[in-house]
Structure 1
Amino acid sequence: MSHSDHDVDVSTTGPTPSGVVQSSVTRWVLTEGNRWLVAVLFSALAAAVVGVLGWLGVVGVDREGPVTLLLSVFIGGNLTLVPVTITINQLVLSREFGKPHDLRERDEGVIALRDELRALAGVPLIAPAPTAFLRELTATLDDSATDVYDEAAATGSEDLARRAEAFRAEVTAGTDGVERALSRADFGSYESLSAMLDLNSAWLVAAARHLHHDHDEAVAADPFERMEATLRLFNVTRQYVKTLYAQKEIATLSRLLLYTGFLAVLVAAVWMLSFAAPGRPPAVVTSIAGFSLLSAVVFAPLAFLLSYTLRLSTLMSYPPLRNSFITDG
């Protein structure tokens, strides 16, 4: 088999997860934007649509029959959030509950992960903080990439040195992004997870294998084996961090659905009863501006559900380990 059959060039890397979505606006809505702000924008959009249609005379908001019928539908829809929230909480709690042997295996798995990194990094101890673990992992990736380059450059092959330098640059770019994110955000935040997702470990595993295979007789195996082992550890760690992040976001979403759902039902019920008050209903109840604000409130639970689910579903659509095959993200 020829040398070119195994060459992996940095320019051929598949798109990183952040590159899956081409539009920056769409990317902001799906993943990067603050979830509260995105939800507020969705609610504001509902209010704006109702306000514009009311101003154009397409819809009427001052007749008791249609308005109360619509509000009863809103109330019924928001009450269905109760079983939805219970289901969401069951998903979260299912990961917390377990038999003693299951909990022991889970704890032993985390310990084994730390022990593996300690052996790869060549350090006696690793600080217990998750952020310290990630920093040690990225530092080990950098060191391993440097060892791969040094081993390749020592052969005197310009081609091997060039490819190894490109490989090291790709690793450094990824680990620098993770380090910057960790300095700005807490462990488990979306920003730190996004930086980890941007490191294209699938390509790096393939590139390390091709470098070693093409020059198997010229270089030692140890640096390449350490590099691949560290990348695999990074893959597992990234998937674990993604699981913790999803668990935290789902728990947050369930609380928000209860809070906003209660508020939406209360406001809609009071709005309906205002039509039964003696005399004419308050002016705000029959005004377009008032009904627009009401629309923002009753759509708030759906807006939060949409905001959080968009990010979670987008993140979960990324391949979990990305090391057997190079995919498009």
Structure 2
Amino acid sequence: MGADADSGDSRDPAPGGVAPTDDAGPLVRGREWFLLDGDRLVVATLLSVAIFLSVLVLEAVGIISFTNANSMTRVASGMIAGTFSLVTLVVSINQLILSREFVAAGTAEDRLEGVESFREQVATLASAPAAPAAPAQLLELLAETIARRATALESMVDGADAVVRTPIRRYVAELTRETDQLDDALDRTSFSSFDALSLSARFDDDWFRYAGSYLRAAHDEALSDDATAAFDDVLTGLRLFAVAREHFMTTYLQRELTRFSQLTIVVGVPSILSAVLLGFFYADITGPTVSFGVFPYVVSTVVAIVFAPVSLLVAYILRTATITRRTASTGPMMPTKDPDEGPFDVTESDGGRDR
């Protein structure tokens, strides 16, 4: 282990680390709000407003025109067909989600036993009467437990050689720093499922499991039985944290996509009606039935309403895809990491020691 802990500050916050912080720049905070933190209905509304303004500006500068009745009726027909296709696709997604809920009694019992077994492991490791039910509280308990176990590990290697003590202290310092940040952030949340999931996705537990496994194996002979047991507790806490996050992510995505399906059906009906109305504007043989003075505003509004389901699709898929990408790893297999990326270097060297 050659680099010091400060090297972790240069990491991209996307794959791990509790980031962005309050000190992040406005562009980073704006990106995180747009991708994750912002209410999806607000994001979809902003996208619809952007479509409205874009159509209005393009007409004002003469790039597009609303005077050709044949062209506008063809556009209206295409909008109707596209909206029907999108609504059909969303209904298919909803059916796919529902199909996972139709299980036999034996499968339902296995699921329940798995959840109960996991909660018992958390309660045992944390020395608590029972694991909390709320996602944020459960993750907060695990973060506190990991930090406490890591501190115990550090105290158990105080008398070891410097070649063993120094890298483990560096590991513990980085781990407790990030768990403390996560604990503080979770303590400030509203304890909603998404807030907990968003914060947990920024904690680099995969890296710490990899680094901890390496250190435990590299110094196995030099560690006492108590230190080895403490190391096992730290790794168990990190593993339970990953399992909890995956469970909450699955539950959250099911609820998020179900809500997206509901909103798309609700918005899809006025969207189709707006596209039909756009065709009726040109039904009169003498031309548009609306005054040319207000016609650009009317058409821009209709187009924004027609594209409302697409705005919803973009808003929800951006969030679900971002959450999935940032948690797309299994254990210490980290596809989002560069070979040399991490809070510090963990490399093999002669005799299994770190350099």
TM-score, length basis structure 2: 0.80
1:33 to 11, 33, 38: 38
Instruction: Please show how residues 1-329 of structure 1 align to structure 2 within 5 Å.
Output: 9-11=4-6, 15-17=12-14, 24=28, 25-155=30-160, 157=162, 160-161=165-166, 163-189=168-194, 191-216=195-220, 217-219=222-224, 220-276=227-283, 281-283=289-291, 287-328=295-336
Gaps of 5+ in 2: 338-355
- Maintained 8 Å contact 1:16/1:199: no
Shift, 1:181, TM fit: 3.1
- Aligned in 2, Cα 1:282/1:326: closer, same or farther, shift over 3 Å? closer
Aligned partner letter, 1:103:
A
- Aligned in 2, Cα 1:118/1:247: closer, same or farther, shift over 3 Å? same
Q: How many residues align?
A: 323
Secondary structure in structure 2 of the residue aligned to 1:225: helix
- Maintained 8 Å contact 1:147/1:223: yes
Shift, 1:100, TM fit: 0.6
In structure 2, how many angstroms separate the alpha carbons of the residues matched to 1:54 and 1:236? 53
- Maintained 8 Å contact 1:16/1:197: no
Aligned partner letter, 1:138:
A
Gaps of 5+ in 1: none
**RMSD of aligned alpha carbons:** 2.9
Secondary structure in structure 2 of the residue aligned to 1:80: helix
- Maintained 8 Å contact 2:139/2:196: no
- Maintained 8 Å contact 1:141/1:227: yes
Aligned partner letter, 1:200:
D
In structure 2, how many angstroms separate the alpha carbons of the residues matched to 1:44 and 1:156? 64
- Aligned in 2, Cα 1:321/1:288: closer, same or farther, shift over 3 Å? same
In structure 1, how many angstroms separate the alpha carbons of the residues matched to 2:228 and 2:6? 25
In structure 1, how many angstroms separate the alpha carbons of the residues matched to 2:66 and 2:251? 45
Aligned partner letter, 2:109:
R
- Maintained 8 Å contact 1:131/1:187: yes
Shift, 1:55, TM fit: 0.9
In structure 1, how many angstroms separate the alpha carbons of the residues matched to 2:184 and 2:3? 26
Q: Which moved more, 1:145-154 or 1:244-253?
A: 145-154
Shift, 1:129, TM fit: 3.8
Shift, 1:294, TM fit: 1.5
Shift, 1:282, TM fit: 2.1
Aligned partner letter, 2:229:
D
In structure 1, how many angstroms separate the alpha carbons of the residues matched to 2:308 and 2:60? 22
Shift, 1:162, TM fit: 6.4
- What fraction of aligned residue pairs are identical, expressed as a percent? 25
Secondary structure in structure 2 of the residue aligned to 1:160: helix
- Aligned in 2, Cα 1:79/1:153: closer, same or farther, shift over 3 Å? same
Shift, 1:252, TM fit: 1.2
Secondary structure in structure 1 of the residue aligned to 2:257: helix
In structure 2, how many angstroms separate the alpha carbons of the residues matched to 1:259 and 1:181? 34
- Maintained 8 Å contact 1:35/1:308: yes
Secondary structure in structure 2 of the residue aligned to 1:229: helix
- Aligned in 2, Cα 1:16/1:178: closer, same or farther, shift over 3 Å? farther
- Maintained 8 Å contact 1:43/1:300: yes
- Aligned in 2, Cα 1:162/1:221: closer, same or farther, shift over 3 Å? closer
Aligned partner letter, 1:256:
L
In structure 2, how many angstroms separate the alpha carbons of the residues matched to 1:255 and 1:276? 33
In structure 2, how many angstroms separate the alpha carbons of the residues matched to 1:137 and 1:303? 37
Give the helix-richer structure, 1 or 2: 1
